[in-house]
Amino acid sequence: QVFSGALREALAEHYKHHWFPEKPFKGSGYRCIRINHKMDPIISKAASQIGLSLPQLYQLLPSELTLWVDPYEVSYRIGEDGSICVLYEATASKPVSSYGMLTCKNQMMLGRTSPSKNYIMTVSS
């Protein structure tokens, strides 16, 4: 819970000028969090604020994790070839057009070297 609070604060500060609910895909590349055998600086910052070391983080988190944070959806993928799972999903108050918009997640999918997965798992509580 302490790490969650520190991470929430770090993300809010980092996304302060990169959060557009009326255009949720705008700035999505900036909001993509990656651990690819190298810890994402936002996660490192939150961990160091509460006294977690980098080795402890590597023990707690997957070595390959991609997290896409958008105003109405948060999704993630563990590993380069893992399935994309939706962690959080909300409905926009006004319909949001995604026509012509290339999100960070979609850019990653276009750059895949392995066959694409044709499904998305949804995780709900």
What percent of the chain lies above the pLDDT cut of 90?
43
Per-residue pLDDT at 101: 45
Question: Domain for residue 60, yes or no?
Answer: yes
Q: Is 35 helix (H, G, I), strand (E, B) or coil?
A: strand
Q: How far apart are CA 44 and CA 42, in angstroms?
A: 5
pLDDT for 21 equals 67
- At 70 the pLDDT is 83
Query: What is the spatial distance between Cα 69 and Cα 105, in angstroms, rounded to a whole number?
Result: 9
Q: Tell me which of 72 and 124 has the higher pLDDT.
A: 72
What gap in Å lies between CA 69 and CA 40, rounded to an integer? 14
Domain that holds residue 39: 2-89
Of 17-26, 44-53, 95-104, give the lowest mean pLDDT range: 95-104
- Quick check: is 52 in a domain? yes
Task: Specify the residue for token string 């994309």.
Answer: 84
* Torsion on CA atoms 86, 56, 1, 3, rounded to nearest 10: -80
More confident residue, 90 or 125: 90
State the chain's mean pLDDT as an integer: 77
Give the residue ranges of DSSP H helices in the chain: 2-15, 41-49, 54-60, 104-110
34 domain-assigned: yes
Q: Which amino acid is at 91?
A: T
Closest CA to 27 of 18, 15, 40: 18
- Assess if residue 12 is contained within a domain: yes
39-93 pLDDT, tens digit each: 999 999 999 999 999 999 999 999 999 998 888 888 999 998 999 999 999 887 6
Q: Is residue 101 part of a domain?
A: no
Domain-embedded: residue 26: yes
Average pLDDT over residues 30-39: 88
Q: Domain count of the chain?
A: 1
Q: Is residue 72 part of a domain?
A: yes
pLDDT at 31: 78
The CATH number for 31's domain is 3.90.640.90
Residue 15 domain flag? yes
